Structure 1
Amino acid sequence: MSRTPQAQTRTQTRKVRAAEPPLDVAAWRPAPFLPRSDARDPALIFVIAVLCFLACLTTLFVIAGDRAAGGWAAQLTGEATVIVRASGGETPDAAAARAAEALAGVPGVAEARALEREKAYELVRPWLGDVSDLDDLPVPRLVAVTLDRETPATGEQLTGALKAQGLDAVVDDHSVWLDDIRRAAGVVRWTGAGIFLLIAVAAGAVVAFATRAGLAARRDVVEVLHLAGAEDGYIARLFQLRFAGVAAVAGAVGAAGAALLGALLRLVGGGEGITPALPIAWIDLLAVLPCPLLAAGVAAVAARLTATRLIRDL
Structure 2
Amino acid sequence: MRIPRLSLDLPWMRGSGRRPGPLLPLEDARSAALIFVMAALAFLACMAAMGASAGGRAAEGWARDLRGEATVQVRPRADETPAAAAARAAETLGGVPGVEEAAVLERERAEALLRPWLGEAILEDLPIPQLVTVRLTEAAPADARALNRALAEAGLDAVVDDHGRWLADVERAARVAGLIALMVFLLTAAAAGAAVVFATRAGLEARRDVIEILSLSGATDRTVAGVFQRRFALAAGLAGLYGAVAAAGVAALMRLAGGSDGFTPALPLAWSDLLLVSPCPLVAASLGAVAARWTTLRLLKGMA
Aligned counterpart in structure 2 of residue 111 of structure 1, from 93, 96, 101: 101
Distance 1:124 1:266 in 2: 30
2:232 is aligned to: 243
1:171 is aligned to: 160
Q: Does 1:197 align with 2:162?
A: no
Cα distance change on mapping 1:302 and 1:132 into 2, 3 Å? closer
CA contact (8 A) 1:247 1:292 kept: yes
* SS of residue paired to 2:102: strand
2:70 is aligned to: 80
Cα distance change on mapping 1:159 and 1:27 into 2, 3 Å? farther
Q: Which has the larger radius of gyration?
A: 1
1:208 is aligned to: 197
1:7 is aligned to: none
1:153 is aligned to: 142
2:209 is aligned to: 220
Q: Identity over aligned residues, as a percent?
A: 56
Q: How large is the Cα RMSD of the aligned pairs?
A: 2.1
* SS of residue paired to 2:89: helix
Distance 2:65 2:285 in 1: 41
1:265 is aligned to: 254
Give the C-alpha shift of residue 40 in structure 1.
Answer: 4.8
Distance 1:26 1:109 in 2: 90
Q: Does 1:67 align with 2:57?
A: yes
Q: Does 1:101 align with 2:91?
A: yes
Give the C-alpha shift of residue 30 in structure 1.
Answer: 2.6
CA contact (8 A) 2:45 2:184 kept: yes
Q: Does 1:306 align with 2:304?
A: no
CA contact (8 A) 2:42 2:240 kept: yes
Matching residue's letter, 1:194: M
Matching residue's letter, 1:231: T
CA contact (8 A) 1:56 1:255 kept: yes
Q: Which runs of 5+ in 2 are unaligned?
A: 1-13
Distance 1:105 1:78 in 2: 16
Distance 1:227 1:25 in 2: 19
Matching residue's letter, 2:219: A
Q: Which runs of 5+ in 1 are unaligned?
A: 1-23
Give the C-alpha shift of residue 132 in structure 1.
Answer: 7.0
* SS of residue paired to 1:130: helix
Matching residue's letter, 1:130: A
Matching residue's letter, 2:210: V
CA contact (8 A) 2:90 2:103 kept: yes
Matching residue's letter, 1:163: A
Query: Where has structure 1 moved over 6 Å in runs of 4 or more?
Result: none
Give the C-alpha shift of residue 208 in structure 1.
Answer: 0.2
Q: How many residues align?
A: 289
CA contact (8 A) 1:86 1:140 kept: no
Cα distance change on mapping 1:124 and 1:47 into 2, 3 Å? closer
1:130 is aligned to: 121
Give the C-alpha shift of residue 58 in structure 1.
Answer: 1.2
Distance 1:262 1:133 in 2: 44
The alignment's TM-score, normalised by the length of structure 1, stands at 0.86
Give the C-alpha shift of residue 27 in structure 1.
Answer: 9.0
Cα distance change on mapping 1:146 and 1:224 into 2, 3 Å? same
Distance 1:283 1:29 in 2: 50
